[in-house]
Amino acid sequence: MFTSKFNTMTGALDWEIQNEDYDYQQELARAGFADMLHDYERNRLYYAGLRKAIKKLKSENKVVNVLDIGTGTGLLSMMAVMCGADTVTACEAFKPMVKVAKKCIEANGMKDKIKIIEKRSTDIVIGIDMDQRANVLVTEVFDTELIGEGAIGTFTHALDHLLDSYCYVVPDNAIMYIQIVDSPKCHDWNWLDLSKYGLKVPEEYKNLAGDAIFDIQLTEFNEFRALTEPLEAFRFSFSGKKPISYNERNVVEAVSKQDGKANGIFMWWVLRMDYENEILLSCAPHWAHHSPNNMQWRDHWMQAIYFPSRLIDLKSGENFLISCQHDEYSLKFDVHAFSEKNKILNFNQPIEDINLGMTLVSRNRLAQLNDKKRFDMFINLLKKNEKDYRNLLIANDDFSILPLLSASETKYEKIFVLESNRFRERCLLSFLNINGLEERVTIIDKNLTDIQSADLINNQFDFVLSESSFNSIVLPWDNLYFYYGLEHLRSLEQKKSAIKKILPIKLRLFVIAISMENLDKIRSPVGVCEGFNLAEFDKIILEASCKADGFLEPHPLWEYPSKPLSDSLEIFDFNFNSRSVSEPFTKTCKFGLKENGLLNGFALWHVLEFDEEDSRISINTGLLNEPEFGKNLVWSKDYKQAIHILEKKVEICDSNRSNISVNCNINFEPLLGKFNIYFKIEN
């Protein structure tokens, strides 16, 4: 069948021929099931919780009827069978996974022991779909926020409509923890600070990134000082011992351990799998984990950072308040001075659903906007060129402070900025107005590739500057979108010879062979899990992932430790001053390995250069230091890099290292807007 696909380089919609099951493959690939099944602690503790609940009911001579909500592969249902359940009913509404579950259950000889209902649990009716209520519920409907996948509604409905009054639930309950920290990086992820440049931030846009969750591998984050110990924010009872509130508000009194600014709120949770609270499944970072030397790595559940609505300075020993709120799906936390206690504790006010606000930029983009070295570089570039060029076009389609800086710091006659998003345009106008710069900047409400001749009649410019910050960029070579935009501008009659200066000058692409500590697990076969054969899952899911996701995918590699097995190698460069490039570019780079370890992937990133004479005047999105063999690589926290995870890992050792080489094949077809990279390991 034909499907339309947005070309991230050209900005155009391309039509591609796909298999009839394309949508099915897309859904499967993005479901993240492989990561969950590699979470051996999760699997083991769910098994232990089930075993304990079923054993308890058996000891009371009760018939055990198990309900598994959201069965996925059928793993938890098969565990229930092995634990001695008399009946097992599994429900799964995600159609692609129903097929997987049936195949896995049949492969393990349990086809006649598990009934699969292809419905949401909230649509199940006793007497029609199930013969009787269950007395054991097992389900994993959690995300990093614990409740974001609808856990509250799922458990509440099951307790009311699908379970006996005397029942056991796995997990039984959960505790959510928070910790207040002082972190300059958290500040950069939340508040835009333009004070260095004498510019104001409008009150209504003080939070450009909104209040949405910022999930993160906190164990890899060390740029903070703890102002409190971990504090309990909420308890959730899933077993019916206490009703789960759809809207709950709690206030925690805390004491600051040291002087600092409360600009980050860390959050994680712990599942207590059994009715005696003995089996603990913790998502805590290493410093708060009950077993820090034996922690399970996982990516499907991480930790999260929330951000206060305003910055509060705390003194050592000072009392303060933390307000905690959740609705059915979301969480919200804030920090308050102790003097606000009466106001904060006024529970007569109705609890409303949480409004997370509008997200105008990502947290990473906000950190880029707070990078003073970055914008000092841009100011110097602008001043260096203002004598030679009169009219400046700033070409991004993500919010930028370049229009503000160019208007306040330079003397260009005219400054134009592209902004096609009406919400970001409104935001930029507010910034310009509050700083008295609205007369200096003209906004063109188009993307770079959408500008028409009519847009340029009264808008003449000879200098085009870009951070190459475009919303379409996913992988490093997507920055070639800037070239296609320039080609579009050049094609317009009025502008054929008007553009005299283009920055950035060059795109450079780098690669390095790496040994990832854990990240490769998200694309690795599961094989046997807790004694169950999941080969059918591997076959279906990994094939779908390959078809849907392609060869490379973006990840913030600073969160995922990896060590170098080769030097970094430049494999491609492109000059943005190039005109009408039409010939396909093909190149093969061959490089060797210089360190022992498990070769399980390749990382790629790009550098944008802005000065022909000084390559240091650049934006580097990848490695911050030269790789040192035997040590973890140091990656930029403000960008995602591209990663290729090898299907077949290779153990590199002294005996084979000199005989192994890597071929990296690059193919760029400018007329089609296609860029492909392939890796081949030769022995």
Residues labelled catalytic = 140, 149
Instruction: Give the N- to C-terminal CA distance of the chain in Å, as an integer.
Output: 39
Question: Which candidate, 329, 437, 460, places its Cα nearest to that of 390?
Answer: 460
DSSP per position, 50-105: HHHHHHHHHHTT---EEEEES-TTSHHHHHHHHTT-SEEEEE---HHHHHHHHHHH
- Region of residue 266 (left: phi > 0; alpha: psi -120 to 50; beta: else): beta
Question: Which candidate, 252, 220, 460, 441, places its Cα nearest to that of 344?
Answer: 252
Q: Using the CB atoms, write b or e for 331-365: b if 16+ within 10 Å.
A: bbbbbbbeeeeeebeeeeeeeeebeeeeebbbbbb
Cα–Cα distance between 28 and 512 in angstroms, integer? Answer: 29
CB count, 10 Å around CB of 445?
12
* Strand boundaries in 576-660, DSSP class E: 585-592, 597-609, 618-620, 641-652
Task: Compute, in degrees rounded to 10, the torsion defined by CA atoms 638, 639, 645, 649.
Answer: -40
Cβ–Cβ < 8 Å for 627, 568: yes
Q: Are strands 391-394 and 13-17 parallel, antiparallel or unpaired?
A: unpaired
Cα–Cα distance between 434 and 198 in angstroms, integer? Answer: 12
Cβ–Cβ < 8 Å for 438, 429: yes
Cα–Cα distance between 273 and 267 in angstroms, integer? Answer: 20
Cβ–Cβ < 8 Å for 341, 188: no
Question: Which candidate, 660, 507, 621, 637, places its Cα nearest to that of 570?
Answer: 507
Which residue is associated with the tokens 């503790």? 45
HEC readout, 344-401: HCCCCCCCCCCCCCCCCCCHHHHHHHCCHHHHHHHHHHHHHHCCCCCEEEECCCCCCC
Tell whether omega for the bond before 670 is within 30 degrees of 0, i.e. cis: no
* Strand boundaries in 126-207, DSSP class E: 134-139, 163-170, 173-182
Cα–Cα distance between 279 and 380 in angstroms, integer? Answer: 59
Handedness of CA 57, 63, 65, 66 (dihedral sign): positive
DSSP state of 472: T
Beta bridge partners of 326: 248, 331
